[in-house]
């Protein structure tokens, strides 16, 4: 009897212990700051120490994710499943989706069409320039179009020059772009017909050059390309050599009136700034008109917006560089316009509508095929300029692992900035960062920056040559430029791993 009671007591005690062990987790009120999965060396300890104790991160959020590039195993994370603002690191998703949907050999087309008859060197009708999204058209291209028109015997056009940008919708700005950004080169309008000033391909912009004049007089201002499409209000003043260089350039909303104010010292070198255009399709057609006139071709009519129709005679068909080549200025220089063009082009190709709504729909569908959990993302544009974009760090490293299996991955990888390499089309936005060993040329990654946000994600080689994938998303910073120091330090920790 005593034995039976003792046996029952033992069972009761064991039962109570099981219950206590089961409920203990419910009373834990604080999670550890990071989770590590088989880290190599001191990886976890070093990153934890940095994230917990660096004063630059006080009051901020730091999402960090590190994976093996060989098998995708998650080696380290810190709030890796928390959605954070990615800034331009979002372009990794846009580039991957664009290459997957369109293909690395995809090219944008521009056409010149005529809707009238040719009589003795005269086109009796209109000449139409139809754009289909090419963000790489520069003034030299319009010169070549004009030469080709002349070679076809056209010396006079009695009608108008018409800009047809109907390949995309007429919404020029993504949903969250502010008026503060719209005159900046990174906030340029998105149009199916546009032009860039040079081979950086900042479509929809002009370059404003300012040189000092005589002391007390206005500075000397010129534009690239040289155009009368803009109205320049010069309110600068040249001051003596000890004076302050303080130039402010703004475009009046809804116009192409540009105000240039401030002071420029007499011994200053040229100041350059890229400013966006209002209605880039009309800007493109104005450049085309200038090219025609240089070839001695008379245009009787005006420049205006319009659309082409079936049956018009195609005089010229021009194709852009392949998408794999365009990836270089897009990703190396973090070109916002290229990102938004890719979104609209995906919408047009997949859904027959060149809009942000349909483009993001197509982008999400393709990302899902690439293994991204799109239910964890908030995507508002393709460039990352919106503060409403949200992506977890683990989804970024997951994508970077999966894309290694794609046939277009070499073009994707080649487009990423390479740390410490001074050539702009190699080092890109990392050309002035991580110049020292072991980081130089071993970190290949996309940068991102917004007010209060600094991000970096890509690939890094360890001391033994083992490839790692990483993502660092720093949000709610008091000084976003200081975030780069944290990113550099994390990259250094990873590069020094055995």
Q: Which of 320, 334, 386, 454 is catalytic?
A: 334
Q: Indicate if 100 belongs to the active site.
A: no
Q: Which of 60, 88, 174, 320 is catalytic?
A: 88
Identify the bridge partners of residue 248 per DSSP, sorted by sequence position. Answer: 261
Report d(CA 486, CA 108) in Å as an integer: 39
Q: Indicate if 91 belongs to the active site.
A: yes
Q: What are the helix and strand counts (H, E) for the chain? A: 12, 23
Q: Which of 44, 68, 91, 332 is catalytic?
A: 91
What is the β-pairing status of strands 74-78 and 61-68?
antiparallel
Residue 247 in 3-state DSSP?
A: strand
What is the β-pairing status of strands 122-124 and 257-265?
unpaired
| 489 class by beta-carbon count within 10 Å (0-12 exposed, 13-18 middle, 19+ buried) | middle
Residue 165 in 3-state DSSP?
A: coil
Q: How many CB atoms lie within 10 A of CB 173?
A: 18
Rounded (5°) CA angle 174-180-182: 45
What is the β-pairing status of strands 117-119 and 122-124?
antiparallel
Q: How many CB atoms lie within 10 A of CB 472?
A: 30
Q: Indicate if 440 belongs to the active site.
A: no
C-alpha dihedral, 333 to 338 to 340 to 343, nearest 10°: -120
Residues 6+ apart with CB under 8 A from 243: 263, 265, 266
> The tokens 């206590």 sit on which residue?
20
Query: For residue 420, is it left (φ>0), alpha (ψ between -120 and 50) or beta?
Result: left
CB distance 390 to 377 below 8 Å: yes
Active site residues: 88, 91, 334
């Amino acid at each position: 009897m005593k034995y039976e009671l003792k046996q029952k007591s033992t069972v009761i005690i064991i039962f109570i212990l099981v219950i206590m062990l089961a409920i203990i987790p419910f009373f834990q009120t604080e999670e550890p700051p990071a989770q590590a999965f088989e880290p190599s060396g001191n990886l976890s300890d070093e990153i934890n120490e940095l994230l917990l104790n660096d004063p630059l991160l006080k009051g901020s959020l730091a999402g960090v994710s590190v994976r093996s590039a060989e098998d995708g195993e998650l080696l380290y994370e810190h709030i890796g499943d928390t959605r954070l603002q990615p800034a331009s690191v979002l372009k990794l998703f846009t580039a991957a989706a664009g290459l997957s949907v369109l293909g690395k050999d995809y090219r944008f087309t521009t056409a010149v069409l005529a809707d009238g008859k040719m009589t003795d060197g005269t086109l009796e009708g209109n000449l139409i320039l139809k754009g289909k999204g090419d963000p790489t058209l520069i003034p030299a291209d319009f010169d070549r179009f004009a030469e080709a028109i002349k070679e076809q015997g056209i010396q006079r056009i009695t009608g108008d020059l018409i800009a047809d940008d109907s390949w995309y919708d007429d919404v020029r700005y993504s949903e969250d772009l502010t008026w503060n950004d719209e005159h900046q080169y990174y906030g340029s309008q998105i149009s199916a017909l546009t032009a860039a000033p040079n081979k950086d391909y900042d479509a929809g912009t002009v370059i404003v050059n300012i040189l000092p004049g005589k002391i007390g007089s206005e500075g000397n201002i010129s534009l690239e390309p040289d155009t009368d499409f803009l109205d320049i209000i010069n309110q600068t003043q040249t001051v003596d050599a000890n004076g302050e260089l303080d130039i402010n350039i703004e475009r009046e909303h809804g116009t192409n009136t540009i105000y240039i104010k401030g002071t420029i010292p007499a011994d200053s070198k040229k100041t350059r700034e890229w400013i966006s255009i209002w209605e880039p399709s009309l800007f493109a057609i104005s450049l085309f008109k200038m090219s025609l006139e240089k070839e001695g071709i008379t245009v009787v009519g005006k420049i205006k917006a319009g659309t082409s129709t079936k049956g018009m005679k195609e005089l010229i068909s021009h194709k852009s560089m392949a998408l794999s080549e365009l990836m270089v200025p897009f990703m190396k220089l973090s070109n916002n316009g290229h990102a938004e063009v890719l979104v609209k082009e995906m919408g047009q190709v997949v859904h027959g509508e060149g809009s942000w709504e349909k483009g993001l729909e197509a982008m999400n569908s393709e990302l899902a095929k690439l293994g991204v959990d799109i239910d964890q993302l908030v995507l508002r544009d393709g460039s990352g300029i919106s503060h409403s974009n949200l992506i977890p760090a683990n989804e970024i490293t997951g994508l970077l692992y999966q894309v290694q299996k794609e046939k277009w991955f070499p073009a994707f990888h080649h487009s990423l900035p390479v740390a410490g390499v001074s050539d702009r089309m190699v080092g890109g936005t990392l050309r002035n960062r991580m110049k020292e060993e072991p980081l130089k040329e071993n970190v290949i990654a996309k940068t991102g920056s917004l007010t209060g946000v600094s991000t970096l994600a890509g690939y890094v080689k360890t001391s033994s040559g083992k490839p790692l994938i990483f993502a660092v998303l720093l949000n709610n910073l008091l000084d976003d430029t200081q975030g780069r120091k944290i990113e550099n330090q994390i990259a250094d920790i990873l590069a020094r791993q055995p």
